[in-house]
Structure 1
């Protein structure tokens, strides 16, 4: 399993995310506070902005290890959270991170096994 998630596509800069090092990032937060689930999370927005989506970008395609794809509006992706740890350990299986919509609507079934976030 690869621990890196790529941000690619209609962006100025391709970004390589390594959720295994986010434990040291001051922007992390307790998932219990927002979603009532055990673990630590990071907001996706700063990483998306660092990639600089081009003005005509409208969606994010979430690519998963099994070949599945989920398409979400870029606006929703900017409010998303990636859970990177549970019980102080990296997300396994289905890691390296789990994708939660900002409103928590998929907290019972977050999107996992993410390999790439393709901005289109």
Structure 2
């Protein structure tokens, strides 16, 4: 139960977070490359359309039967999940909690104290939840990174919860 955190305070729906299941979430990001890659503003519909188009083209060229290369790619993805360093954007969780109209501050609660941020800055947070395929047990369950990577070498650790004020 020590890995369970919550988003509470001035929200319509208090939310419980369990980082152990995020490894299966499609929104997970690779933290080893996320902050070093150039950010591209892309439309999610456009990205989806390109992905579907690429898949369709592949089926036309190679057929619907999985060629050996596709099987190898799936094996590589499974291996990456077991050994990767991952995080997940915090924004979807905040949006699902539906902050009150007068909420302006997010307090990150840790075993070492509290950190206050504007709600706008909090929308950009990335929650790191695994390093080298292992959950963050000693100083976790999550590490909080600024979306721009300014605290990449020194994230907020030992997080116990989030409260909106």
The TM-score with structure 2 as length reference comes to: 0.69
Q: Give the structure 2 partner of residue 32 of structure 1.
A: 32
SS of alignment partner, residue 72 of structure 1? strand
**Unaligned residue ranges in structure 1 (runs of 5+):** none
> How far apart, in 1, do the equivalents of 2:130 and 2:35 lie?
14
Q: Any idea what the Cα deviations from partners look like across 1:52-95, whole Å, max 9, x if unmatched? A: 001111010000123x0000110010000000000101012111
Which protein has the larger Cα radius of gyration, Structure 1 or Structure 2? 2
> How far apart, in 2, do the equivalents of 1:47 and 1:78 lie?
9
The TM-score with structure 1 as length reference comes to: 0.94
Structure showing the higher strand proportion among its residues: 1
> How far apart, in 1, do the equivalents of 2:125 and 2:97 lie?
15
Q: Any idea what the Cα deviations from partners look like across 1:23-53, whole Å, max 9, x if unmatched? A: 01111010112235x7101000000000000
2:126 maps to which of 81, 86, 93: 81
Structure showing the higher helix proportion among its residues: 2
RMSD: 1.3
Kindly report structure 1 stretches of 4+ aligned residues shifted beyond 2 Å: none
Q: Give the structure 1 partner of residue 140 of structure 2.
A: 95
**Unaligned residue ranges in structure 2 (runs of 5+):** 37-83
